[in-house]
A and B are shown apart, each in its own frame.
Chain A
Amino acid sequence: MNMDEYRGVWVFIEQRDGDLVDVGLELLGAGRDLADKLEVDLCGILLGHNVKGLSKGIFEYGADKVYVIDDPILEKYRSETYMIAVGDLVRKYKPEIFLYGATSNGKDLASAVATEVMTGLTADTTMLDVDLEKRLLEASRPAFGGNIMATILCKKHRPQMATVRPKVMKKLEPEVGRTGQIIEETISLKEEDLRTKVLEIVRDTKKAVNLEDADIIVAGGKGIKDEKGLKMIEELADVLNATVGASRDIVEAGLISHAHQVGQTGLTVTPKVYFAIGISGAIQHKVGMENSETIIAINTDPAAPIFDVAHYGIVADAFEIVPILTEEFKKALQHVEPVKEKEKGGVAHA
């Protein structure tokens, strides 16, 4: 392999029913930085049917080029078709770095492509950097259940590939009107030659829990003990128009559904305010919430590790302080109300 033939930073741009998925835009932010350091182009890889129009947004979020394959056969994601299409692009255009969002489909695709083009792939990266001299991607991630951080390198194979979890990297501010080069490619697959078919996609639209977009999260752990404790934090969440989060231990205890779980095997969240109530702060929990803007921890144990990542710490019994907090907020918010979901985006009036 002549590694010098490989140049450029690629990001797989996942689209869902014709909308760009956020993680792709976040990776353009991270990829921009790598591309600038390496002095190469940042390219978005866009597959689907009738998706060319999405290129505009991809440029605005930082890409210099977009490779598009627009074909009815690619309308719905399938490993079978996407792997071939992306594998062909890699062989033809030879990128040195290729990033994918660690979504169900992103991980599926990256794993298949890595085997297809025989290269290294680092899963669930949380930090990306580059060794300029060697043009080596330094992809770091928690390993062994988050007990340790490790940097993974791929020295002798190209492209260097990594998946990155949603919400870990930051989108750039879109630069309206920014454009770039669109490169259209085709694929010569026939439906009758394929072995898989997506028969139906069922989205749980009533899914009320939307942790990833919440501005305020009130999360509870084993310290809230039972149904009564859960009710208590739900009441606080209610007053603040917040979303309820949870540690794995109360999810496993059956107190609340997995959709609420924050952490390594749950969601990564970055709200403006994160209340950690009766949560010890195990590393697997921390990796999912440590980038929150303001973290307030309430715990009876002054030595709880959660106080290492929190901005404000309160040593107190949750059962005493949470009801007081709820009452005080209720009073204070009589004249002021939490910004509602649909009104967000308009900046502070008050």
Chain B
Amino acid sequence: MNILVCIKQVPDTKIIKVNPKTNTLDRSSAPAILNPYDAHAVEEAVRLRKVHGGKVTVLSMGPPQAREAIKKCVEIGADEGYLISDRRFAGADTLATSYALFKAIDKMMKEDGVDLVLCGKHAIDGDTGQVGPGIARRMGIPPLTNCIKVEEVDLKGKTMKVRRKIENGYELIQSTLPCLLTVEKEINQVAYSPLPNMLRAARYNPIVWTVDDLDDVDIKQLGLKGSPTIVGKMWPPAKSEGAQMIEGDVKKQATEIVTMLLQKRELFEVKGGEQA
């Protein structure tokens, strides 16, 4: 089974700081990590390979540092990693990103073909979740988003069944192969990497391509130029005027809150309806 996983290196948004003077992000304040959802996607690919054989290849678009994220994937168990890195890719929104990744997949898979493409549910820096379905559309394969479980893979019959998370539940969906899944964290737990993987990752050098390594690329569809959306203004989230503080000892504070809330008539009604 030939599995391709798209992975992204992202700033750890838990730690990132905003420069209050310029309203821009201070990227140096945050360490770069493998997008957490993508780690689950790689883990799932490795699990499927264990059962069905084949190969797990990861692909990322980003600056040269993104090699580190690819090495992390090798640690999880990926066989091979490609990085497409070029100034001409920079500033891409989701439409331009899916175009560049699609072109790379096309080239990478020319020989062996691909049975399954995996993506994370979303990248934690952009939080959009749009790249996966975009790639699927460009490849002409079905996208199955928000997957929480692979139920069945039938390589001979070229079909698979997955659980897709929806509001208050899930749906069981069957698709022909190849298809593209985006995965939720629930799909698996990323296991601790065995030592040989760590050693291999430490020495591993991802294959790096520029735009010129891809075939038939329309430069106008790449990077900033190929991005229909642009960022207008940025501003720090609004601060409101602040709370009315309730002073006094806890007893007094509590009484005041209770009295205040009981005045909200629509929330409470008289028992037994005697005063209705």
Contact = CB atoms under 8 A, between A and B. Distances in A.
Interface in A248-283: 264, 272-273, 283
B240 A107 contact: no
B87 interface: no
A2 to B, nearest CB: 16
Contact of A145 (B16, B239, B270): B16
A189 interface: no
A112 interface: yes
B37 to A, nearest CB: 11
B234 A149 contact: yes
B164 A144 contact: no
B28 interface: no
Q: Which secondary structure dominates where chain B touches chain A?
A: mixed
Contact of B231 (A111, A115, A150): A150
A325 B258 contact: yes
Interface string B226-243: 011111111111011011
A145 B128 contact: no
Interface residues of B, number: 85
B220 to A, nearest CB: 12
Given A196-B173, A201-B169, A321-B254, A313 B243 contact: yes
B269 A104 contact: no
Contacts of A317: 250
A156 B275 CA distance: 62
B133 to A, nearest CB: 4
Contacts of A315: 245
A157 B133 contact: no
Contacts of B266: 272, 339, 347-348
A328 interface: yes
Given A152-B232, A196-B173, A350-B270, A145 B254 contact: no
B253 A215 contact: no
Interface in A79-121: 79-80, 83, 103-105, 107-108, 110-112, 114-116, 118-121
B195 interface: no
28 contacts: A76-B171, A78-B173, A79-B133, A79-B144, A104-B167, A115-B95, A116-B137, A143-B127, A144-B16, A147-B16, A147-B17, A148-B18, A151-B231, A154-B228, A196-B175, A197-B173, A199-B161, A201-B170, A216-B267, A308-B239, A312-B244, A313-B246, A320-B250, A329-B261, A336-B262, A338-B269, A349-B275, A350-B265
Interface of B: 11, 13-14, 16-18, 23, 25, 93-95, 98, 124-130, 132-134, 136-138, 141-146, 161, 164-176, 179, 227-237, 239-240, 242-246, 250-251, 253-255, 257-258, 260-262, 264-271, 273, 275-276
Interface of A: 16, 76, 78-80, 83, 103-105, 107-108, 110-112, 114-116, 118-124, 138, 142-157, 195-205, 207, 215-216, 264, 272-273, 283, 286-287, 290, 294-297, 307-317, 320-321, 324-325, 328-329, 332-339, 343, 347-350
- Enumerate the 10 nearest inter-chain pairs by beta-carbon distance, A residue then B residue, closest first: A145-B13, A120-B228, A313-B243, A111-B133, A120-B229, A123-B128, A151-B232, A310-B243, A115-B137, A203-B169
